[in-house]
Chains A and B, each alone.
Chain A
Amino acid sequence: MKNIVIGQYIPGEGFFYRLDPRTKIISVIVLMVAVFLLDSIYHLLVASGVAMILLLVGKISIGRVFRGLRPLLVLLVFTFVFQILFNRQGAILVNETLTLSATSIVGVLFLTVLWRMLARRGKFRFLLLLMYLGGLYLAMRYLTFWWQITTFPFVIYEDGVTMSIFVIVRLVVIITLSTVLTLTTKPTDLTQGLEKLMRPLKVIGIRSEDFALIISISLRFIPTILDEANKIMSAQASRGADFAEGKLKDKIKQVISLLVPMFIIAFKRSEELADAMESRNFVPGKPRSRINELVFNRLDVLTSVFVVMCLTGSILIRVL
């Protein structure tokens, strides 16, 4: 539960921090659409290049954004492998025969053990996984002597490669954009921006203030609740409830010993919060003023122009 980067605001300065949250929210959505419209790898690469330059201009550490991608690495690898193995369209790029033989099975087992041992150390896990997959391929390709059991074809089609690159680049772009948004926008500003943007929904009976209030209270209490959960977990561990091990039956009991107190704490906190808000004269639905009103400035106009240009560009590329 620690080291969550997605959805975390990090104070800083630079061009992204000075933008109005409304501009940022709309821009992120429009840019996502623009990237999805692109259907050639070269255009996608150009778009990624532009994104990189923007990150540099905005003084956002690229390392931070990539750390946000880390939880999704497994998903990315899975997509890649899946596409390469099962997509059978387009020209054939690689056509090899893989062999299961006594030697290659030994090789595979050896590689698996080696991989698990090294992965236990906890460093360069992702790199190790890639090397392991490559190693599997090499073992089955070249260790063919002795006792061949079966052989099977290993074919990579062009579309498999392009599709997987597409999917991955798009995922990376979505995550990068939303990471930049949350990294550079205070949760309060984000909800205020959402509230303003959702104002028109009043027509269909959705009160955007309530919605924004719910979001900001939830965001505010996530760290508190995590903190409380850690505390209760430690307290129950002090009574011998080891959350790491134990049989299924014990596990259920241990989860209950965490959930019941958490619910009680959550209810207590929400009651206290409601009292505190009421005693400060908060009435749901009444108009309220803000300390910092959102204002558009020149930067927002420039950004909007840039984003619209991106969108027009990708539409034109798509259509022409």
Chain B
Amino acid sequence: MGIQFRQVSYHYPSGSINFYPAISDISLSIAAKGEFIAIVGHTGSGKSTLAQHMNALIFPTSGEVEIFGSVVSKRRDKKVKYNDLRQKVGLVFQFPEYQLFEETVEKDIMFGPINFKVPVEEAREIAKKAIVMVGLDESYLRRNPFNLSGGEKRRVAIAGILALDPEILVLDEPTSGLDPQGKKQMMELFKDIQDKTGKTIILITHDMDLVYEHTSRVIVLNDGLLVYDGSPDALFKRDDLAKYHLNYPETIRVLSAIKERFGVDIDVYQKDAISAANVIRLVMGQ
């Protein structure tokens, strides 16, 4: 169950001038519950294209995607309700604040559930829960979404997807364009949602610290190819990440620099603060 990619490739239809696929020959499998996955890769590596396959917004040029038992391939199947798959896998686009259009936050959050035939009263209840879940209070429901700050708008847009109560939540660069504080809060929000609901969360990001610290699995794309799928710890122990245009997390970079500069023997892959104090002691002792 969950989502399975089987040798999926995708060409954009207008791509006749630069005729290389946006993603090619991708196979992977995502569990329906409990995963926290990061998708990383440089700009244009195919992350957003991959994400849009996960709820049948685009159809593979070759290969197939299986989403909760429904097969999505090049050929459209009349029996498959593609729209229903979009309720199962909620996709939050990059800069989702642009999709707001109603005159109140409440109506905007209710737009999704009502499209999926949820009765209006029930949708209103869902909106209340969703706005709290993204860390805003119920008074926001009556406000006009266009008078909110950028970060608040984005939270409302995410609430609009959470209101669908999807099994799997996919977020395309949810922290881009936010200030460091906003980024941190946003990340805590996702962590919180995962702790509370146990849903699988898939996060497209450029933030390696976050990948290193929070996620249990990382998928690396490079020029449309899947080049790594495994634990973040193992990924950052490799020394050839520059090949994929990736950075190392801050802690690893700092600890490596200290190790080199002061010649102390420390574990650069440690994560907790107590051993960080040890590092300082070691360095000062020199």
- A-to-B contact residues, CB < 8 Å: 2-3, 228, 231-232, 234-242, 245, 250, 253, 256-257, 260-261, 264-265
Neighbour of B93 across the interface among A3, A235, A240, A264, CB < 8 A: A235
A2-B14, A234-B52, A235-B93 known; A240+B83 contact, CB < 8 A: yes
Contacts of A264 in B (CB 8 A): 98, 146
With A238-B91, A260-B101 already in contact, 20 other A-B pairs whose C-beta atoms are closer than 8 Å: A232-B98, A232-B99, A234-B57, A236-B99, A237-B57, A238-B86, A238-B161, A239-B112, A239-B164, A240-B83, A240-B86, A240-B112, A240-B116, A241-B111, A241-B115, A242-B82, A242-B83, A242-B115, A245-B83, A261-B101
Contacts of B111 in A (CB 8 A): 239, 241, 253, 257
In B53-94, the 8 Å CB interface with A consists of 55, 57, 82-83, 86-87, 90-93
For B109, the closest partner residue in chain A by CB is A239
Contacts of B87 in A (CB 8 A): 240
Q: Which 10 A-B pairs give the minimum distances between C-beta atoms? A: A240-B115, A260-B101, A239-B112, A235-B99, A235-B93, A238-B91, A242-B83, A240-B116, A257-B101, A234-B57
CA distance A73 to B52 in the complex (A): 34
Contacts of B146 in A (CB 8 A): 264
Contacts of B99 in A (CB 8 A): 232, 235-236, 239, 257, 261
The verdict on B160 contacting chain A, using a C-beta distance below 8 Å, is: yes
- B-to-A contact residues, CB < 8 Å: 13-14, 52, 55, 57, 82-83, 86-87, 90-93, 96, 98-101, 111-112, 115-116, 146, 160-161, 164
Instruction: Find out whether the CB atom of B116 lies under 8 angstroms from the CB atom of A235.
Output: no
Contacts of A250 in B (CB 8 A): 115
Contacts of B13 in A (CB 8 A): 2-3
Contacts of B14 in A (CB 8 A): 2-3
Instruction: Find out whether the CB atom of A261 lies under 8 angstroms from the CB atom of B161.
Output: no
For B115, the closest partner residue in chain A by CB is A240
For B101, the closest partner residue in chain A by CB is A260
Contacts of A235 in B (CB 8 A): 93, 96, 98-99
CA distance A242 to B57 in the complex (A): 10
Neighbour of A234 across the interface among B93, B101, B115, B164, CB < 8 A: B93
CA distance A187 to B262 in the complex (A): 60
A-B contact pairs, 19 of them (CB 8 A): A3-B14, A234-B93, A235-B98, A237-B57, A237-B86, A238-B86, A238-B90, A239-B99, A239-B112, A239-B115, A240-B83, A240-B115, A240-B116, A241-B115, A245-B83, A257-B101, A260-B101, A261-B101, A264-B146
Report A237 CB to chain B, min CB distance, Å: 6
For A231, the closest partner residue in chain B by CB is B93
Contacts of B160 in A (CB 8 A): 239
Report B159 CB to chain A, min CB distance, Å: 11
Contacts of B161 in A (CB 8 A): 238-239
For B100, the closest partner residue in chain A by CB is A261
Report A228 CB to chain B, min CB distance, Å: 8
CA distance A261 to B98 in the complex (A): 6
Report B15 CB to chain A, min CB distance, Å: 11
Residue picked from B87, B91, B115, B160, most chain A C-beta under 10 Å: B115
A2-B13, A234-B52, A241-B115 known; A265+B98 contact, CB < 8 A: yes
Report A186 CB to chain B, min CB distance, Å: 16
CA distance A260 to B101 in the complex (A): 6
Instruction: Find out whether the CB atom of A240 lies under 8 angstroms from the CB atom of B164.
Output: yes
Report B85 CB to chain A, min CB distance, Å: 10
Report B111 CB to chain A, min CB distance, Å: 6
Report B59 CB to chain A, min CB distance, Å: 13
CA distance A122 to B164 in the complex (A): 36
Contacts of B83 in A (CB 8 A): 237, 240, 242, 245
